Structure 1
Amino acid sequence: MPNIPVNSQIFDLAFHPNSNVVYTGLLNGKVKAFTYDDNGVHSTAFDLRISKLSCRGLAINPDGSSLYAVGKNRTLHVIDTTTATVSETRQCVHDAPINRVAHPTPRLLATGDDDGMIKLWDPRKQDAIRRYTQHFDFISDFMCGDGTLSVMDVRSTKSEPFAHSENQEDELLSIVPFKGGTKIAVGTQLGMISIFNRNKGWGDCVDRVPGHPHSIDALCTLPSAYPSSHNTILTGSSDGLLRVIELLPTRLVGVIADHGDFPIERIAIDRAGEGRWVGSVGHDEVLRMTDLREVFEDEGGGQRQDASVDEEVEVTPLPLKKSWAAEGDEQEPASARKEDEESGNVSDAPKPKRRKKEKGDLKGRPHKRGRNQVDASPSFFSDL
């Protein structure tokens, strides 16, 4: 599993849709791009400073020609990926630091800031075409920190959301569709996966999946080439583990990457989600690249059959890690989100936003192995 050092905390990453290029947005205000081959050998493509303040979010357009970068300076930067230069700068497009940027359709861009403001942009126009103000806390992965889920129809000219859920009594951190887009999985601060059903409305979730021992900061789905992609997701957690989980029915498949003492905040799969490499980033100043073919395919190129959690499987537990907590175990919420440093100096990088609890922190309760628990290292998959 190749690791790409960047020498600064990574806030976001984006893969080029057609080429083996990955872009990272850093605490020190830089955007660094790296090329990589099928063996994971990488080299620096460009190193561009766009601000003295942190670059928090990245999004790339469908053909990969333009990379959009946002951050604490409230500015929207457009980077020409061919020339590695800033082709456009829109100063102070939000009143608060911008936390996320996304490209929901080929001709629409969305930005969300620390005050909950969401703006929609047509890249061909200078000003925002719509604004949404239903949230009052920061936008993360276009999930808000005020405990509600909102659904916006970008085709509509209205500034009100299409739907707005009830308060979920938890902080919503990440979101991903599965089951062909008919269901939505939402990761929360307390480690619960909330399931929404499009056909049942958006007022409240229809199911909750317990078991994650820490917050679920990032989610993504498998490439569609895998038979189980319709109900399998990858979760990045504040305990530093990247897990593979099947939903409905729910079971832990295994752990495929470990960031040690640092939380995982963003994960993405290359080639517009249909590639072989999954990138994960946290606070350890390293972009970790995991080859999905080594995890899910045998040497002949066929799909591996995942072992059931009810089977007896010899695995090597990760030290001081809980791959999947037994239902009913007490869970400690991660610490509150901290503001990043004003300075662009690498040496002033903040400490991790969330610290893992040390062994024995669960109020003295010994950890019990649950019926559906598997403690697995990446080597677990090599025997399947």
Structure 2
Amino acid sequence: MPNIPVGAQIFDLVFHPSESLVVTGLLTGDVKAFSYDEQGNHEERFSIRPSKRSCRGIAMNESGDKIWAVGKGKGVYTIDTATGMVSDTRKGAHDVAINRVKRLLPNMFCTGDDDGVIKLWDPRQPEALRAYTHHYDFISDFLWLEDKKHLVASSGDGTLSVLDVRSKKLEPFAQSEDQEDELLSLATIKGGQKVVVGTQLGILSVFNRKSGWGDCVDRIPGHPHSIDALCNVPSRYPNAQSTILTGSSDGLLRAVQLLPTKLLGVVADHGEFPIERIAVDQGGEGRWVGSVGHEEVLKLTDLKEVFEDDGDEEEEEEEDADEEGDEAKPEDNEEVKLENSEGKGRKADADSDEDEEEEEEEGDDSSDESVQESRKRKKKPEKDELQATRRKKGRNEIVTDPAFFADL
């Protein structure tokens, strides 16, 4: 698992849509770009500091030749990817610090600031196309729905809003009710028909587009801390339409399948540092997932090792269990225990005798876990599917459904 040291805390990252290039925005205001190969070896392409204030957001145009950087300096800076130089500057683009930026159309991108103001921009024009002021707290994330040309924005004020960028009205197309929690991150599942929202309390809220945007249709608890980042997995993997990657402030990057809910594994571990942003290269269909936190390192994780190699190991173990006889086969209602293997997947033990030993030792192992998680295990052990602890803190076992192995 290659790590790319950058020398400062990373606020955001973006991958080039077609090349092996990743760009990061740092607390120091620097924008650094790195190239990498299939082995994870990296090389710095350029480093520039367009503003002395922190760079909070990074976005890239459709072709990947332009980078938009925003941050505490309130300006929008356009950087040429080939030269690493600033080609355009919009100073004072917002009245307060800008928190997020996202590309929408070939000639349109959006920005959101700490006061909840959202602005649409044409890169060919110096002034904003429109400004929306229906939110009153910071804009935490953007999601683009290509089929309807709708921009979904989440805010710290507890509401979700939908903007029709084709309309010239300054009101949102739709806005949700107050969810009584900070909304921090956005992703889609089920082919874009449902929108998943990560919250401050560690709950995944699911909105069904066919049911309207007034309120969520499902709430999925399980994460012990806030869910600061969400990302889709490449479509080539099984159940990709219902599987997302979640970055939490507990430092774990998880692969979670929704509806039904299953913890597929811990993809990466940032230790005690919260995860701020996650992204998959090659336009979301690549091999590497990048995750950043507060440890001044960009962590690249090979998704092949997470979703493919471990799946092959599971199949081999199931074949071995079949050869040992019917005693080694788990029944349909039998619980199969998964053990965390350094954040790279889960290995199942189908031997019924070892399962009994693990159940007897579970009481002793719980002393190595946090008080909060041990209490949750005693009260509601069946709802702890999304919780996982690191290997270094002691032995941790997750209860999941045997049908999980059939999907690999």
What TM-score do you get using the length of structure 1 for normalisation?
A: 0.83
The alpha-carbon distance between structure 1 residues 187 and 116, as it changes in their structure 2 partners (threshold 3 A), is same
For 1:197, the equivalent position in structure 2 comes to 208
Deviation at residue 100 of structure 1 after TM alignment:
0.5
* Secondary structure of residue in 1 paired with 2:305: helix
1:181 pairs with 2:205: no
The alpha-carbon distance between structure 1 residues 31 and 151, as it changes in their structure 2 partners (threshold 3 A), is same
Structure ID, larger Rg: 2
* Secondary structure of residue in 1 paired with 2:164: coil
1:226 pairs with 2:250: no
For 1:326, the equivalent position in structure 2 comes to none
The CA RMSD measured in Å over matched residues stands at 2.9
1:312 pairs with 2:336: yes
What TM-score do you get using the length of structure 2 for normalisation?
A: 0.79
Amino acid in structure 1 at the alignment position of 2:201: L
For 2:372, the equivalent position in structure 1 comes to 362
Amino acid in structure 1 at the alignment position of 2:298: L
The match for 2:225 among 202, 209, 214 is 214
The alpha-carbon distance between structure 1 residues 291 and 318, as it changes in their structure 2 partners (threshold 3 A), is closer
Amino acid in structure 2 at the alignment position of 1:210: P
The alpha-carbon distance between structure 1 residues 163 and 219, as it changes in their structure 2 partners (threshold 3 A), is same
Amino acid in structure 2 at the alignment position of 1:153: D
Q: Distance in 2 between matches of 1:306 and 1:376?
A: 24
Amino acid in structure 2 at the alignment position of 1:123: P
The alpha-carbon distance between structure 1 residues 72 and 309, as it changes in their structure 2 partners (threshold 3 A), is farther
Mapping of 1:24-103 within 5 angstroms?
A: 24-103=24-103
1:168 pairs with 2:192: no
The alpha-carbon distance between structure 1 residues 141 and 150, as it changes in their structure 2 partners (threshold 3 A), is same
State which drifts further: 224-233 or 362-371.
362-371
> 2:10, 2:25 within 8 Å by CA — same for their partners in 1?
yes
> 2:266, 2:340 within 8 Å by CA — same for their partners in 1?
no
The alpha-carbon distance between structure 1 residues 72 and 237, as it changes in their structure 2 partners (threshold 3 A), is same
User: Relative contact order (C-alpha < 8 Å, sep 6+): which is higher?
Assistant: 1
Q: Distance in 2 between matches of 1:306 and 1:25?
A: 43
> 1:255, 1:376 within 8 Å by CA — same for their partners in 2?
no
* Secondary structure of residue in 1 paired with 2:96: coil
Mapping of 1:1-384 within 5 angstroms?
A: 1-142=1-142, 143-298=154-309, 311-316=335-340, 360=370, 362=372, 365=375, 367-368=377-378, 370-371=381-382, 373=385, 375=388
Q: How many residues align?
A: 344
The alpha-carbon distance between structure 1 residues 68 and 306, as it changes in their structure 2 partners (threshold 3 A), is farther
Give ranges in structure 2 of 5+ residues lacking alignment: 143-153, 319-331, 344-367, 392-396, 398-404
> 1:315, 1:376 within 8 Å by CA — same for their partners in 2?
no
* Secondary structure of residue in 1 paired with 2:58: strand
Give 1 or 2: higher helix fraction: 2
Deviation at residue 217 of structure 1 after TM alignment:
0.3
Deviation at residue 365 of structure 1 after TM alignment:
3.8
Q: Percent identity?
A: 59
Q: Distance in 1 between matches of 2:317 and 2:87?
A: 47
Q: Distance in 2 between matches of 1:127 and 1:265?
A: 30
Q: Distance in 1 between matches of 2:334 and 2:96?
A: 49
Give ranges in structure 1 of 5+ residues lacking alignment: 320-357
Q: Deviations over 1:45-68 (max 9, x none)?
A: 111111111000000001000000
> 1:30, 1:55 within 8 Å by CA — same for their partners in 2?
yes
Q: Distance in 2 between matches of 1:371 and 1:300?
A: 24
> 2:265, 2:340 within 8 Å by CA — same for their partners in 1?
no
